[in-house]
Structure 1
Amino acid sequence: MKRNDATDWMWADALQMLAQAERLHRHMFRPARAGAAAWEPPVDVIETDQQVLILAALPGVDSEKVEAAIEDGVLRISGVRILPPELQTAVIHRLELPQGRFERAVPLPPGRYSAVAMQAANGCLLVTLQKAA
């Protein structure tokens, strides 16, 4: 029984995408050096006429405990994600969300900012930078 060329092509693409996803996962969640961040959250950076919005995926992280600072045109977001106390003695069957210290350096669009606000938004941290007039 001969396979269809389209099926072979789709299967090859699927295998290539799986390999790429595995490489990305290994890169994002590599073991940390002592004192270094263990992982970097993915971010979206969106600019409007009045604001720059940075959305960092931080599920399970208390946004009140996240530090954010602008240094030399870069927004640095850092903190720690830890298992809730109820889960520390549980039998874990799968643990895909990264744990431990995180830090992300986000280059900002050129300009000056007059106000900074942070808030939790559906498992993410939303940082709003108001552009200076």
Structure 2
Amino acid sequence: MWEAAIDALERAERLHRQFFRLAGQHTRAPVWEPPIEVFEHDGLLAIVVALPGVPPDRVNLNLEGATLIVTAERTLPRAFAGGAVHCLEIPYGRSERHIRLPAGRYRLARRDSEDGCLLLDFERLE
């Protein structure tokens, strides 16, 4: 029960960081954290990172120990430059997500993009 409470607090903190930091900050610090899904299937560790509007060539992967770091940048559309914005709910700017991988060693087996999501499959190395 305690572990579930800690997980809920971590999710709430992540959502707070994701939605309440100002997009467009002039800093290299991440502005938002993309939501993820991590699951295993057919012997692979699959990770889905929701990055709507981010071109695949603007996504970087870095493995630091057992943590996968996904960084990307979503720029404001040109149409926003000359008009008044009435609602801005989709985050823009630099994103960064740290994903702790389950114990073991992994090799990236597939990297793809589909419907605004980054799709990653990792093989476990024995």
Give me the TM-score of the superposition, normalised by structure 1.
0.72
Alignment pair present for 1:131 and 2:108: no
Written as runs of structure 1 = structure 2, the 5 A alignment for 1:1-133 is 26-29=16-19, 30-31=21-22, 34-133=27-126
Structure 1 residues 123 and 33, CA, compared in 2 at 3 Å: closer, same or farther?
Answer: same
Q: Which amino acid aligns with 1:96?
A: E
Q: Which amino acid aligns with 1:79?
A: A
Q: How much does 1:26 deviate?
A: 3.8
Gaps in structure 1 of 5+ consecutive residues: 1-21
Q: How much does 1:64 deviate?
A: 1.8
* SS, match of residue 57 in structure 2: helix
Structure 1 residues 128 and 90, CA, compared in 2 at 3 Å: closer, same or farther?
Answer: farther
Higher Rg: 1
Q: Deviations along 1:91-132, whole A, 9 cap, x unmatched?
A: 322110011010000000111223342211211111111222
Gaps in structure 2 of 5+ consecutive residues: 1-11
Structure with the higher strand share, 1 or 2:
2
Structure 1 residues 52 and 23, CA, compared in 2 at 3 Å: closer, same or farther?
Answer: closer
How big is the alpha-carbon RMSD for the aligned residues of Structure 1 and Structure 2? Answer: 2.4
Match of residue 5 from structure 1: none
Q: Is the 8 A contact 1:82 1:99 kept in 2?
A: yes
Structure 1: how far apart are the matches of 2:15 and 2:98?
Answer: 19
Give me the TM-score of the superposition, normalised by structure 2.
0.76
Structure 2: how far apart are the matches of 1:129 and 1:70?
Answer: 12
Q: How much does 1:84 deviate?
A: 2.2
